[in-house]
Amino acid sequence: MKASSLALDLLDLFLPRGCLGCGARLPPEEPQDLVCVRCRTLLRSPAPPRCLRCDVPLGTGQPVGATCLECADWPEILAFARAAVVMEPPADALVHALKYGGWRSLGEMMGRRMATVCPPVGGDPVVVPLPTTSRRRRMRGYNQARVLAEVVARELGVALVEALDRPSGGTQVRSGPRERRSNVHGSFRVIPSSRSRFRGLEVILIDDVLTTGATALSAASALGEKGAKSVRLLTFARALPFGAEGRRTPLN
CA 126 – CA 142 distance, rounded (Å): 21
d(CA 175, CA 251): 10
* Average of per-residue pLDDT across 74-86: 94
Whether the Cβ atoms of residue 208 and residue 182 lie closer than 8 Å to each other: no
Tell me the pTM. Answer: 0.83
**7 or 22, higher pLDDT:** 22
Beta-sheet strands, E only, within 34-170 = 78-86, 126-129, 159-160, 164-165
* Interval 147-196: pLDDT, tens: 999 999 999 999 999 999 988 654 444 544 455 454 555 679 999 988 88
Query: Which helix (H) or strand (E) element contains residue 189?
Result: strand 189-190
Tell me the C-alpha distance between 120 and 234, whole Å: 12
pLDDT score at 111: 97
CB under 8 Å to 74, separation ≥6 — which residues?
A: 53, 54, 213, 217
Reference 184, options 171, 203, 200, 199; nearest CA is: 171
Q: How far is residue 106's CA from residue 148's CA, in Å, rounded to a whole number?
A: 9
Q: Mean pLDDT check: name the lowest of 56-60, 93-97, 214-218, 230-234.
A: 56-60
Asked if 127 contacts 160 with a C-beta cutoff of 8 angstroms, the reply is yes
Domain residues of the chain, as ranges? Answer: 1-42, 43-246
Is the pLDDT higher at 16 or at 222? 222
Task: Quote the CA–CA distance of 165 and 127 in Å, as a whole number.
Answer: 15
Residue range 43-246 in CATH 3.40.225: no
pLDDT-above-90 percentage for the chain: 51
| Amino acid in the structure at residue 165 | D
